[in-house]
Amino acid sequence: MELDPEAQAELEKKQAADALKARGTEAYKSRDFATALSLYKQAWDTYPKDVAYLGNQSAVHFETGDFEECIRVCLQAADLSTEIRTDYALLARILARAGNAALKLDRLEDAIEYFKRAQTNSRNRQVAIQIQETTKKLEKRRAEAYLSPEISDQERERGNALFKDSKFKESVDAYSEAIKRNPKDPRNWSNRAASFIKLMAPNEALRDCEEALKLDPTFMRAHQRKVNALMMMKKEADALTAISEAMQADTSGASHPQFMQLRMQALTEINRQSQADPEAVKQRIANDPEIQGILNDPTMQLILQQASTDPAALHEHMKNPTVANKINKLIAAGVIRTG
C-alpha cells in the first residue's frame, strides 16, 4: 500500500530523525556529549513531533552537569506531550530525570513535584522511594530551619502560664510548639507530660516522660511524672520499677523522700487490691506466665527464701536493677506482701 505524498514525507522525516538520534546515541555512549547534543537537536529539528529527542537532549545536559537546562528541556517535553502523542512510560522517565536534576541543584520541593508528576504517568518503585526519601529530607530541613531555642523558651513559659490558669489543653499546644522549636530540651517534654496527666491522658504523658529521660536521665521531675502516669494507668509494678530507676539516677539522694512516698502510695494500692479479693489474686498469680517464670527462677527462689528469714536482705537485693524489677512485679502481683 502506497502512502500519500504528505504521509510519505512525514515518514521520511521520522526516519531521518531516527538516524540522527542513532548517531547521537553512539556519540553519547562514547561520552562525546557535544556531538551527541548536536545530533539530538538536529533530530528534533527534523521531526519535532517526538519528545524522545528532547529526552535525549536532557540526558546529555544531565551528564554534563547543566541541570538547569536539563530541567528546562524535560519540562518542555512534558508541556508538548499534551499536544503530541507521547508514551506514558517515556514521559515518566523524562520527568524523573527532571526530578533528579532538581535534586542535584538541592531544590527538594521541585524534585518532589517532578517525581510525583512522573508517577502519575507511569508508576515506578524507584521513583516512589525517591519521593519518600526526598520528602523526609525536606521535612527534616524545614524542622531544622524552624529550630529556635529562644522561641522555644518563650513557648514553654507561655505553656507554664496556661497551666497555672488550668488551661491544660492550651498548655499542651504551647509545649508542643516549644518541642518543635527545640526538641532537645527535656523540660518541654516533661511539662507537656504534666499537662497530659491533668487531661487524664497517661499514655501520652508516659511517652513524653520517656523522651525527656532519654535527653536527661537525671531529670527528677520527668521521673516523678512517669511514676504518676504509670499509677494512673494502674501499672503499679511498672511504677515501682520507675521509682527504683529514679532513685538510682538521683545520686545525691535529694529526691529520695519524695519517691519513697510515691512507693508507699503504690504499695498501699497493691495491698488494697490484694485484700479486696484474695482469691482473685491467687488465680492471677497462677495464670500469669511472667510471675510463674520469676517464681521458678532459682536465683529468685534463693532471694525469696533469704528474705523470708531476713526481710532486710530484700532491700539489699533491690540495689540490683534486674532483681528489683522482678521483686516489684512480685509485689504488684501480691506474691510479696508489704506492710
Burial environment of residue 76 by CB neighbours within 10 A (0 to 12, 13 to 18, 19 or more): middle
Give 250's contacts (C-beta < 8 A, 6+ positions apart).
218, 220, 223, 256, 259
Report d(CA 235, CA 332) in Å as an integer: 8
Domains of the chain, with CATH numbers?
5-145 (1.25.40.10), 147-233 (1.25.40.10)
Report d(CA 209, CA 293) in Å as an integer: 30
What is the pLDDT at residue 243? 92
What is the pLDDT at residue 178? 98
pLDDT along the chain (339 residues), means of 10: 75 94 98 98 96 98 98 97 93 98 98 98 96 97 96 98 98 98 98 99 98 98 98 90 92 92 85 73 78 87 84 78 81 71
Report d(CA 80, CA 72) in Å as an integer: 12
What is the pLDDT at residue 78? 96
What is the pLDDT at residue 49? 94
What is the pLDDT at residue 328? 79
Cβ atoms within 10 Å of 154's Cβ, excluding its own: 15
Q: What is the pTM for the complete model shown?
A: 0.68
What is the pLDDT at residue 50? 96
Report d(CA 181, CA 175) in Å as an integer: 10
Strand, helix or coil for residue 81: coil
Report d(CA 198, CA 156) in Å as an integer: 17
What is the pLDDT at residue 276? 66
What is the pLDDT at residue 339? 54
64's enclosing H/E stretch is none
Give the DSSP per-residue string, 228-294.
HHHHHTT-HHHHHHHHHHHHHH-TT-TTHHHHHHHHHHHHHHHHHHHHH-HHHHHHHHHH-HHHHHH
